Chains A and B, each alone.
Chain A
Amino acid sequence: MTAPPDDCLARNEWICGEYLSTRRQIILDAVVQHFQLTAVSVLIGLLIALPLAVLARRWGLAAGPVLAVTTILYTIPSLAMFSLLLPVYGLSAALVVAGLVLYSLTVLVRNILAGLRAVPEETRQAARGMGYGPIRLLLTVELPLAVPAAMAGLRIATVSAVALLTVGAIVGFGGLGNLIYAGMNTYFKAQVLTASVLCVVIAVLADLLLLGVQRLITPWTRAARG
């Protein structure tokens, strides 16, 4: 018989180094899952939002329905969204990804569309005057000029997705949310606090990363200011 160890785990303290060292692998797995699910969701969201926004820009008639549908999707609660998709995907990571994709669409479509609409008419006419066809105009003039607005949307979508993903714990694919959910049921303070803090850290890091990418791909915005 050995006495139970008297460390911070046994005392169930909020901050506990012992927890970090003994559960390192579990935490790491959760972080990786969190990161992967968020990245996949936002990337798929971007791939769907881009053509939708271009479509809405080209045919004014499409803009109304596209914006309306994506807005309605946004009002569906996260828990409900995952549940509504349950019959389609079952209890899987695809369920969580699909839910997050649908959420990111609202912000992404709106921002990309706003960016495309903000391209000055004179700029487009100048490009046309130089003999640019519609495709080349879109790819080399309109889309690059829409990048700042699109990136702003991408940052919001990513940060929100990191936070929303925790709710995926209900189907077992919530990344750090799984640790929070399990910690809640067992009253495990160190686990809940650590996972919550890591969520925020991931969100902030992702935001900074995207900000850096934006600066790299839009050098002209800095040249104009400086």
Chain B
Amino acid sequence: MNALTAAWDWLADPAHWSGDEGIWHRLFQHLVMTVVCLVVSCLIALPVALVLGHLGRGGALAVNISNVGRAVPTFAVLVLLLLTPIGKWGEGPTVVALVLFAVPPLLTNAYVGMREVNRSIVQAARGMGMTGRQMLFHVELPLSLPMVLNGVRLAAVQLVATATIAALAGGGGLGRIITAGFNLASTPQVVAGAVLVAVFALIVEGIFEVVERLAPHLVRGAR
């Protein structure tokens, strides 16, 4: 418990909150990085997953990409990118590594969601003379939305968590507080940084929960 009180004391010190190395600045970097990566990965993964799901093809591919993705350490990808010319683009390597990390779960969830739409409903829609585009946007997408959003939520929380690794490679974000703590051999600072990231991840989880509660028509689909 000593470690936690020491970490609390570290957090309570106003000097640790301001400036370029301060908590507010790191929090802001972390937030920007997470949001940018989430938006980019959604833009890449969701259209592909929705179209593949609509066509009913490439499912094995999506699941396999997801499985292979799990085997690739994000840290290794980050360092590899850092040593290539991309490494000179500031936060570029971090964004690329995190997007590569977030795309597989998004793709799999959205694809599975599309495929789990009741086939008889899809056939009824086809029988009513809907075009492929109408079926996708007015039938399949609304019905699969809960699953698609579940994937986005999963990706968002994992991005918050994984963005800390950027700090190992000299990037910004809350992870820097942790790595700086390791370098200073300051356990209170390390624990304080870890608590900050964990709380951030839980807040993101909570925001998604609240959105789902406030907009049940959106998430539960057109039942």
Binding site for B on A (CB under 8 A): 72, 75-81, 83-84, 86-87, 156, 159-160, 162-167, 169-171, 177, 180-181, 183-184, 187, 189, 192-193, 195-196, 199-200, 203-204, 207
B71 touches A159 (CB 8 A): yes
Interface string of B102-128 (1 = CB under 8 A from A): 000000000000000000000000000
A79 touches B79 (CB 8 A): no
Main secondary structure of the interface of A (DSSP, over half): helix
Contact of B194 among A80, A156, A200 (CB under 8 A): A80
Of the A-B pairs whose beta carbons lie under 8 Å apart in the complex, a sample of 27, sorted by A's number, is: A75-B205, A76-B197, A77-B162, A77-B164, A77-B175, A77-B197, A77-B201, A79-B179, A79-B194, A80-B161, A80-B194, A83-B178, A83-B193, A87-B2, A159-B67, A163-B72, A163-B73, A167-B73, A170-B182, A177-B73, A180-B73, A180-B76, A192-B79, A196-B73, A196-B77, A196-B79, A199-B71
Q: Tell me if B198 is interfacial: C-beta within 8 Å of chain A.
A: yes
Q: Tell me if B169 is interfacial: C-beta within 8 Å of chain A.
A: yes
Q: Tell me if B86 is interfacial: C-beta within 8 Å of chain A.
A: no
- How far apart sit A165 and B75, CA to CA, in the bound complex (Å)? 10
B178 proximity list for chain A (CB < 8 A): 79-80, 83
- How far apart sit A204 and B83, CA to CA, in the bound complex (Å)? 25
A87 touches B74 (CB 8 A): no
A180 proximity list for chain B (CB < 8 A): 73, 75-76, 79
- How far apart sit A122 and B41, CA to CA, in the bound complex (Å)? 45
Binding site for A on B (CB under 8 A): 2-3, 67, 70-77, 79-80, 82-83, 157, 160-165, 167-169, 175, 178-179, 181-182, 187, 190-191, 193-195, 197-198, 201-202, 205
B79 touches A184 (CB 8 A): yes
- How far apart sit A217 and B72, CA to CA, in the bound complex (Å)? 28
Contact of A84 among B77, B83, B191 (CB under 8 A): B191
A163 touches B160 (CB 8 A): no
Chain B residue with the shortest CB-CB distance to A156: B70
A203 proximity list for chain B (CB < 8 A): 70-71
Chain A residue with the shortest CB-CB distance to B200: A77
Contact of B165 among A76, A79, A171, A189 (CB under 8 A): A79
A81 touches B76 (CB 8 A): no
Known: A75-B202, A86-B187. 7 other contacts (CB 8 A): A80-B164, A159-B67, A166-B73, A177-B73, A187-B83, A189-B83, A196-B80
- Tell me whether A162 and B194 are in contact in the complex, defined as CB-CB below 8 angstroms, given that A79-B165, A83-B178, A87-B187 are known contacts: no
- How far apart sit A145 and B15, CA to CA, in the bound complex (Å)? 58
Q: How far is the CB of A201 from chain B (nearest CB, A)?
A: 9
A192 touches B168 (CB 8 A): no
Most chain A beta carbons < 10 A, residue from B74, B179, B190: B190
Most chain B beta carbons < 10 A, residue from A87, A166, A167: A87
Contact of A199 among B76, B83, B175, B182 (CB under 8 A): B76
B72 proximity list for chain A (CB < 8 A): 163, 196, 199-200
- How far apart sit A184 and B202, CA to CA, in the bound complex (Å)? 31
Contact of B79 among A86, A170, A183, A200 (CB under 8 A): A183
Would you list the 8 A-B pairs with minimal beta carbon distance, nearest first?
A87-B3, A80-B194, A203-B71, A77-B161, A196-B76, A163-B73, A83-B194, A166-B73
A160 proximity list for chain B (CB < 8 A): 70
B75 touches A167 (CB 8 A): yes
Q: How far is the CB of B2 from chain A (nearest CB, A)?
A: 7
- How far apart sit A189 and B83, CA to CA, in the bound complex (Å)? 7
- Tell me whether A163 and B70 are in contact in the complex, defined as CB-CB below 8 angstroms, given that A80-B194, A192-B80 are known contacts: yes
Most chain A beta carbons < 10 A, residue from B2, B82, B162, B168: B168
B193 touches A80 (CB 8 A): yes
- How far apart sit A42 and B66, CA to CA, in the bound complex (Å)? 21
Contact of B201 among A76, A156, A184 (CB under 8 A): A76
A200 proximity list for chain B (CB < 8 A): 71-72
Q: How far is the CB of B198 from chain A (nearest CB, A)?
A: 5
